[in-house]
A and B are shown apart, each in its own frame.
Chain A
Amino acid sequence: MEFVIEMLNIRKEFGNFVANDNITLQLKKGEIHALLGENGAGKSTLMNVLFGLYQPEQGEIRVKGKPVHISNPNIANELGIGMVHQHFMLVDKFTVTENIILGKEITSGGQINLKRAEKEVRDISERYGLAVDPQAKISDITVGMQQRVEILKTLYRGAEILIFDEPTAVLTPQEIKELIQIMKTLIKEGKSIILITHKLKEIMEVADRCTVIRKGKGIGTVNVSETNPNELASLMVGREVDFKTEKSPAAPKQDVLDIKDLVVKDSRGVTVVNGLNLSVRAGEIVGIAGIDGNGQSEFIEAITGLRKAEKGSVMLNGKELFGLSTRKITESGIGHIPQDRHKHGLVLNYPIGENMVLQTYYKRPFSKNGILNFKEIYNKARALIKEFDVRTPSEYVLARALSGGNQQKAIIGREVDRNPDLLIAAQPTRGLDVGAIEFIHKRLIEQRDNGKAVLLVSFELDEIINVSDRIAVIYEGQIVAVVDPKETTEQELGLLMAGSNRKEAGEGTHV
């Protein structure tokens, strides 16, 4: 048995905090090896040790059986280790080729030989089925393509071992399928892959073996063919996890949100929401299913006041919201868990405590005669942090310092606590681990059971089907179908999202 990488009994400390405690990971040649763990379990630390960004306190790294000392990323590169980062490191204004050769330019007589570089990039791209245009500008290509450029970058540098850090977090379902195909091609061509993820479905689909870490400790390595998602989840979290979110049937009442003929343009002036009609009733969760880019973001921004709509009507409890300011809309009873928690959801440079009153800071008891009452603000923050299990050293820590899952819990706590008649949750579980997802789904259902209306937007079909009481499919800025999650299938939804009409989609399945 040949191991290309062996990380043996790795221990990494930060001050008093042990990020990696005696973790062992062995990568066989030609396998896809998943590294599974919750947010903050120590996956990234372990990979940064392998990539030479951190030095371990204890333990040994071997490459092809030989002990090595990886003191910086250049050495990792020389050893054939390449990292496909979750946040791409690309220059937007450069072409694909220029990005790939950056730092390893082919020069002739002091000039960059772009022709030769382009040919090399094209050759590698064809060999691994990446289908990347070497002359395209980064800013003009999709996120999925940008990721392939990152992959190309590592291959161009001669990587034999590729580390993928949460590669599917930013991709659409279609792009995920293509990525999985690419990973399989890479393996066929003799590469080895470490896949960092917390998505169990992907591990089951693509990985050969899986190493699980929990709270910095190595739990063990299992053969994927001999395990199942439930076992993996309990290994990761340390307890049983519900996948099917338990919920009683909905008891919907009167219409809370009623949208008629809504038209919204995007930042470039293109009409992306084109006569959308939708209603959400008290006591139900309506899920919006759709492929990214069909107007979901603009639609949510328009009803929450972040974007001006062109025309149409948005009624909340019989009151027209169209054209009102964000403040008025918030005050009339809408809670909003925004799609991008860093852009909209939090002021990252404010303490997490002060973020808890982001929409209520000007009201009593938090503010009196224009002066803030920090005692009340932090009392509220402490209560929410406790209730929503936000893990933070204290309420005075900057929001920036919290992990993604805990930032999201803080936002959800803040929005739910305002007790809005309509709660809008846009991609509420993006990038979170199963434990946090379970928690968030429970909270959404709780809101519903309290007689509130919930509008859920997600690109994850599992989530839509699991949590929603009705599913509205959005396609090219219109709701093209409303289906019952109990009577639909992923296939039917997939077809509807791709634009086939109801009847075609229904053929072969029972509607």
Chain B
Amino acid sequence: MSKRLINILTPIFAVVLGIIFGTIIMLVSGYNPVDAFIALGQGAFGDVYQIGEVVRQVTPYILAGLAVAFAFRVGLFNIGVEGQFIVGWLAAVWVGVTFDLPAIIHLPLAILAAMIAGGLWAFVPGLLKARFRVHEVIVTIMMNYIALHTVNYIVNTKMNQGSSKTAKIHETASLRSDWLSNLTTGSSIHWGIIVAIICCFIMWFLLEKTTRGYELRAVGFNQDAAHYAGMNVNKNIILSMVISGCFAGVAGAMEGLGTFGYMAVQGGFTGVGFNGIAVALLGGNTALGVFFAALLFGILKIGALSMPLAGVPKELVDIIIALIVFFVASSYIIRIVLERFSKKEVK
């Protein structure tokens, strides 16, 4: 069995194991797993409306996953995707509310603003890491709280249009489309999925094909060798963090310009950024892997909403997701089993 095949099979086995153990938990706690999974399937694929909702849910997951995966590939842990996501959301909404421009300028400008906001938010931990070797995990976690409370303050005091919400963004900055919405009988699907797919391509191209990607990865693998090769290690660390933050910021724009069209005061973290970590992990930190992992998470999340119809609490899906993450994290065990298996085949 080739290394590549094992790399692909490992997350698939993790998903299967997660579902099996989820089934056991349902049985033990007296729920009917068959009904639960039928309800889950119905909830995700039952009709075009559900599919539209899944696509809408997948969009920010892809981008948050890309943010984490990108950082990981260049040797950094960006736990701050949540914070960068929130500031990106606010920046996009602010541009959407404040300016009056033709759509062709307004929409890209709003996405760009989100990108810059997310990038700036990630610039701080990047700078601290490059200049003072402060570990980015600590700083990004702290930056999450700063983002949450600062954004809440701004929404509450500067942009509040009643009931702790900003005004609706102008039509010209919106990702929503009546056509898409009608096609899916009124779901909240929006064009953001196209943006997310483009970003998958950008991440792959940037890392694998460009001179800059060669540098970024080299710095991630071995800073000393990168220095020896004449690369500017500190600049590349900061840049890595900023690019990762840009992806997270765009994820925020998806919510601000697509799903909601406004920003409300957040009672707590949205969880999108943290789910991004799980998505990146399951997707093996590759662009394509992130796409499929986000798809799975989106299906599970949306499908779960229908599970109470079968009398099963939707929280069980969170348990299954947690189990999948657990099995990916302990993929070492799965790997060993697969390698044993392939050895026997040879004999």
Q: What residues make up the interface of A, taking CB atoms closer than 8 Å to B?
A: 15, 304-306, 325-331, 336, 338, 343-350, 354, 358-359, 361-362, 367, 370-372
Q: List 25 A-B contacts (CB under 8 A).
A: A306-B227, A325-B230, A326-B229, A336-B228, A344-B224, A344-B225, A344-B228, A347-B218, A347-B221, A348-B221, A349-B222, A350-B218, A358-B225, A358-B228, A358-B229, A359-B229, A359-B230, A370-B210, A370-B212, A371-B210, A371-B211, A372-B209, A372-B211, A372-B213, A372-B214
Query: A346 vs B217: C-alpha distance in the bound complex, in angstroms?
Result: 13
Bound-state Cα–Cα, A343 to B229, Å = 12
* Residues of B bordering A, CB below 8 Å: 209-215, 217-218, 221-222, 224-232, 346
B221 proximity list for chain A (CB < 8 A): 347-350
Chain B positions within 8 Å of A370 at CB level:
210-212
Known: A15-B346, A326-B230, A350-B218. Contact between A361 and B211, CB under 8 A? yes
Q: Judging by beta carbons under 8 Å apart, are B230 and A347 in contact?
A: no
Out of A326, A328, A347, which one reaches B222, CB within 8 Å?
A347
- B214 cross-chain contacts in A, Cβ below 8 A: 354, 361, 372
Closest CB-CB distance, B220 to chain A, in whole Å? Answer: 9
Complex CA–CA separation, A291 to B12 (angstroms): 56
Contact B230 A348, beta carbon cutoff 8 Å? no
Select from chain B the residue with minimum beta-carbon distance to A377.
Answer: B214
Residues of chain A with a CB closer than 8 A to B228's CB: 304, 306, 326, 336, 338, 344-345, 358
B216 to chain A, nearest CB (A): 12
Pair A347/B211 contact, Cβ less than 8 Å: no
- Chain B at the A interface: SS class: helix
CB-based contact B225/A327 at 8 Å: no
Q: A305-B230, A358-B229 are in contact. List 18 more A-B contacts (CB 8 A).
A: A306-B227, A326-B230, A336-B228, A343-B222, A343-B224, A344-B227, A344-B228, A345-B228, A347-B222, A350-B218, A354-B214, A361-B211, A367-B211, A370-B211, A371-B210, A372-B211, A372-B213, A372-B214
4 closest Cβ pairs, A-B complex: A327-B230, A344-B228, A367-B211, A358-B229
Q: Which of B211, B213, B215, B221 has the most CB of A within 10 A?
A: B211
Interfacial chain A residues near B346, Cβ < 8 Å: 15
With a CB–CB cut-off of 8 A, which chain A residues contact B225?
343-347, 358
CA distance A430 to B226 in the complex (A): 22
Question: Once bound together, how far apart are the Cα atoms of A370 and B210, in whole Å?
Answer: 6
A371 to B213, CA, bound (A): 9
Complexed CA–CA distance, A343 and B217 (Å) = 16
Question: Cβ of A305: which chain B residues have Cβ within 8 Å of it?
Answer: 230
Whether the Cβ atoms of B224 and A326 lie closer than 8 Å is: no
Q: List the A residue with the shortest CB-CB distance to B219.
A: A347
Give the residues in chain A near B217, CB-CB below 8 Å: 350
In chain B, what residue has the closest Cβ to A355?
B225
* Cα distance, A359 to B211, chains bound together (Å): 12
Complex CA gap A346/B230 in Å reads 13
Q: Closest residue of chain B to A374, judged by CB?
A: B209
Bound-state Cα–Cα, A306 to B230, Å: 9
B232 contact set on A, CB distance < 8 A: 325, 327
Question: Quick one: closest B residue to A354, CB to CB?
Answer: B214
Query: Which of A304, A325, A358 counts the most B-chain CB atoms under 10 A from its CB?
Result: A358
- Residue among A306, A336, A371 facing the most chain B CB atoms (10 A cut-off): A371
Residue among B217, B224, B228 with most chain A CB within 10 A: B228
Closest Cβ–Cβ distance, residue A369 to chain B (whole Å): 9
CA of A331 to CA of B209, assembled, Å? 24
Q: Which of B209, B226, B230 contacts A371 (CB 8 A)?
A: B209
In the assembled complex, the Cα of A407 lies from the Cα of B209 at a distance in Å of: 25
Closest chain-B Cβ to A422's Cβ sits at a distance in Å of 16
* Nearest Cβ on chain A to B286's Cβ, whole angstroms: 15
Q: Which residue of chain A has the shortest Cβ distance to B213 in the bound complex?
A: A372
Distance in angstroms between the alpha carbons of A306 and B214 in the assembled complex: 20
Interface centre among B214, B224, B227 (most CB of A within 10 A): B214
Bound complex: CA A328 to CA B226 (Å): 14
Q: Which residues of A contact B231 (CB under 8 A)?
A: 327
